[in-house]
Amino acid sequence: MSLYIRTHIVQKGETIEDIVSQYNIPNVEMLRYFHNQNCPKDRSHIGSVVFAGQEIFIPEKTDIDSIIEDQNKKRKEKKQLEQNHLKNTILYLDVFAIKKQYRVTVENSKNGVSEKISFDVCCRYIDKDENNLPILEYKKGKYLINDKEPDTKLNDLALEAIQFLYPLEFSLEQNYAKPHIITNLKEIRKRWENLKNKIKNSYSDAYSLKYIKVMDESMNEGLSKHILNDLFLQFFFAPYVKYENGIYDDERNFHTYKIRYQDTMEMQITEDEIQIEQKAYCIDLRTPQQILSKWKPDEENAQEENEEVLESYIEGSYILDINDKILKEAKIELKTNFYEEEIIQVEINTIEI
């Protein structure tokens, strides 16, 4: 800044925008900042308007460059503080901003044979429960099997039977890190009873009747656990954990069989995204048979006999929006060797609504 500050006397009818344009100042905020910083205490600061006869301090190019440099430095320091905070805290998503639609693809490969199922998911915030916890609405639809609409009677039955579940509504746990409980369970049970009576008249073959029986048992044995453990919901909420220096490392359950893993999530932050890489290896000492039968050991006899750990790992990558922390896309691979190698690949991509 020069020893003598350049000034401008406001003319009648002249606006602050006119002055900014006349002196090639980048914006009104910069003129206001420079003037107010240099204005003597007995002079008026610039507000939203200027008045005829008012003396305005005008920055030179060197002043403008210095202000821009200082603003960039402060912006960078603020961003660094925000990033350090994110890397050393529980990562929360803005559940009240959730209104997302995703395209989900799940490809299962076993013995060289693979099947790919894709479907759309809609997830949005709708309300709070009696404990002031957020409730999300969850829908699935537009199913494709190996990129084609199902054309067998049994597949038609499966899709028709699944539709009664949605829309599904569930509350979140206190830290918003995963689903807690289905809040419209009574409504879902009622929809199932109505649908069951209808499809029994349309599907009378042995396979269809067996499928209906399985669905009926699932309804009676704990629908909340069955539904809220689906792969999309597991991995949608996977990044929301407590990080230290950008790393989370702890035990967690994944897979449809709730296998125990030592899970590591590593965070990197860019200008507008949070990128998270996941690597998890199995620490579950149950036998493959025990896992497949969903056997849970109690604390006294837990996993005493089997000394071999199941061969299983997870690798995943997640991209979240830096502002609302909501998942934008993800790719996950689960490789498990029960009695034969099984690979499940899950891909999640945002669809513009």
Asked if residue 66 belongs to a domain, the reply is yes
For 142-263, where are the alpha helices, taking DSSP H only? 153-163, 185-202, 206-228, 231-236
- Give the pLDDT confidence score for residue 273 in this predicted structure: 94
Last residue of a domain, one of 62, 86, 110: 86
Higher pLDDT, 112 or 89: 89
In the predicted model, what is the mean pLDDT of the chain?
A: 86
The answer to whether position 1 is within a domain reads no
Last residue within a domain, chosen from 86, 103, 136: 86
Task: Residue 23: give its domain's CATH number.
Answer: 3.10.350
Number of domains in the chain: 2
- CATH at 200: 2.30.230
Domain co-membership, 68 together with 134: no
Is residue 239, in this structure, part of any structural domain at all?
yes
Q: Clarify whether residues 124 and 260 are in a common domain.
A: yes
pLDDT at 307: 67
Least confident stretch, 153-167, 170-184, 278-292, 318-332: 153-167
Residue 43 has a pLDDT of 63
The pLDDT of residue 240 is 95
Q: What is the pLDDT of residues 51-78, one digit of tens each?
A: 899 889 999 999 999 999 998 888 888 8
How wide is the angle at C-alpha 140 spanned by C-alphas 204 and 145, nearest 5°? Answer: 65
Residues 79 and 126 occupy one common structural domain: no
Is-cis flag, bond preceding 297, omega within 30? no
The per-residue pLDDT for 160 is 64
Residue carrying the six token digits 């003037």:
35
Domain that holds residue 13: 6-86
Regarding whether 205 and 76 lie in a shared domain, the answer is no
Residues 64 and 126 in one domain: no
Q: For residue 77, is it within any domain? A: yes
Select the highest-mean-pLDDT range: 130-139, 143-152, 207-216. 130-139
- The answer to whether residues 153 and 293 belong to one domain is yes
Same domain, 81 and 104: no
Task: Report how far residue 241's alpha carbon sits from residue 92's, in angstroms, rounded to the nearest whole number.
Answer: 8
Please say if the pLDDT value at position 269 is more than 50: yes
Strand partners, 44: none
Is residue 157 domain-shared with residue 305, that is, in the same domain? yes
Q: What is the pTM of this model?
A: 0.76
pLDDT for 229-246, tens place per residue? 789 999 999 999 999 999
Question: 10 Å Cβ neighbour count for 190?
Answer: 12
Confidence of residue 16 (pLDDT cuts 50, 70, 90): very high
Same domain, yes or no: 245 and 189: yes
150 and 253 inside one domain: yes
Q: How confident is the model at residue 305 (pLDDT cuts 50, 70, 90)?
A: low
Band (pLDDT 50/70/90 cuts) for residue 1 is very low
pLDDT score at 158: 61
Tell whether 141 and 203 lie within a shared domain: yes
Residue after which a domain boundary falls, among 51, 86, 121: 86
Q: Are residues 231 and 343 in the same domain?
A: yes
Task: Categorize the per-residue pLDDT at 147 as very low, low, confident or very high, splitting at 50, 70 and 90.
Answer: confident
